[in-house]
């Protein structure tokens, strides 16, 4: 399997899908919003974008299965699976905030092989494949060399779907607000991850995410020289619903999280 060639084809597909999403955003009909939950919105754009991606990926690699956010195709038990979030940052998209992305990964079990994230608002495409390094628009990228939280800008999200953990989360945020350069909450985990990969952030952490939120971005961080684990430091983050992705502050950030979690 030629991972480099497959990745190049996925990049093209991501950019084409992003163009569709951006165009739809110019005349978006808010009456077509659906609520999966109070803080969990979906639109016809998510579903149509997912169908575009699934169709394209079937042409690129017919033998792979799928894990998708919008469930436009049934999952099966194939070893190779595409893990897709067609529009990561739907709430931003609906409100006209240009921070949303497409996220496509190829995995064998929990082993990530390919990751492509297209930051639609900025027109930046990030990609990586196993052992091949990480790239932004074809140029190699690396994580930030900063090695102290005191000199770091850190991204996170909020655990909207499990408020039982909110007090613990606030304790972590309070510590990091006081000890770092600052915290940011963009509303797209895929973008948070690739911004960590390119060194705009020193780290990203979040609780209660799904595999399709993090799969592509996590591989891009790893291939850019970063570390990705769950909150306990384990490598099984993909289906664990918690993630810590960093450049060179991993142990220090894990210590803060575990002291308060």
Q: Which residues make up each annotated binding site for Mg(2+)? A: 69, 85, 87-88, 213
Q: Is 44 left (phi over 0), alpha (psi -120 to 50) or beta?
A: alpha
- Contact call for residues 140 and 114 (beta carbons, < 8 A): no
Distance CA 172, CA 170 (A): 5
Are the C-beta atoms of 243 and 204 separated by less than 8 Å? yes
Question: From the annotation, which residues make up the binding site?
Answer: 69, 85, 87-88, 213
161: tokens are 């779907």
DSSP state of 132: S
**Nearest one of 76, 80, 72, 88 to 17, comparing CA atoms:** 88
d(C-alpha 146, C-alpha 202), whole Å: 7
């Amino acid at each position: 399997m030629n991972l480099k060639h497959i990745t190049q084809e996925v990049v093209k597909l991501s950019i084409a899908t992003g163009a569709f999403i951006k165009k739809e955003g110019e005349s978006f009909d808010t009456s077509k919003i659906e609520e999966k939950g109070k803080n969990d919105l979906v639109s016809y754009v998510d579903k149509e974008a997912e169908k575009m991606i699934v169709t394209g990926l079937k042409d690129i690699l017919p033998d792979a299965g799928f894990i998708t956010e919008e469930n436009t195709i049934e999952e099966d038990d194939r070893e190779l699976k595409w893990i897709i979030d067609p529009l990561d940052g739907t709430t931003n998209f609906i409100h006209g905030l240009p921070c949303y992305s497409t996220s496509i990964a190829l995995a064998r079990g929990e082993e990530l092989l390919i990751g492509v994230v297209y930051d639609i608002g900025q027109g930046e495409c990030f990609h990586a494949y196993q052992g091949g390094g990480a790239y932004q628009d074809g140029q190699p990228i690396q994580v930030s060399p900063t090695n102290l939280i005191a000199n770091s800008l850190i991204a996170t999200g909020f655990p909207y779907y499990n408020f039982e953990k909110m007090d613990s989360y606030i304790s972590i945020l309070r510590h990091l607000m006081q000890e770092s350069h600052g915290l940011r909450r963009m509303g797209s985990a895929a973008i948070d991850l690739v911004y960590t990969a390119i060194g705009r952030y020193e780290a990203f952490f979040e609780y209660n995410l799904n595999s399709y939120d993090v799969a592509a971005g996590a591989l891009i961080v790893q291939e850019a020289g970063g570390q990705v684990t769950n909150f306990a430091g384990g490598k099984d983050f993909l289906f664990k619903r918690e993630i810590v992705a960093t450049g060179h502050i991993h142990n220090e950030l894990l210590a803060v999280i575990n002291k308060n979690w």
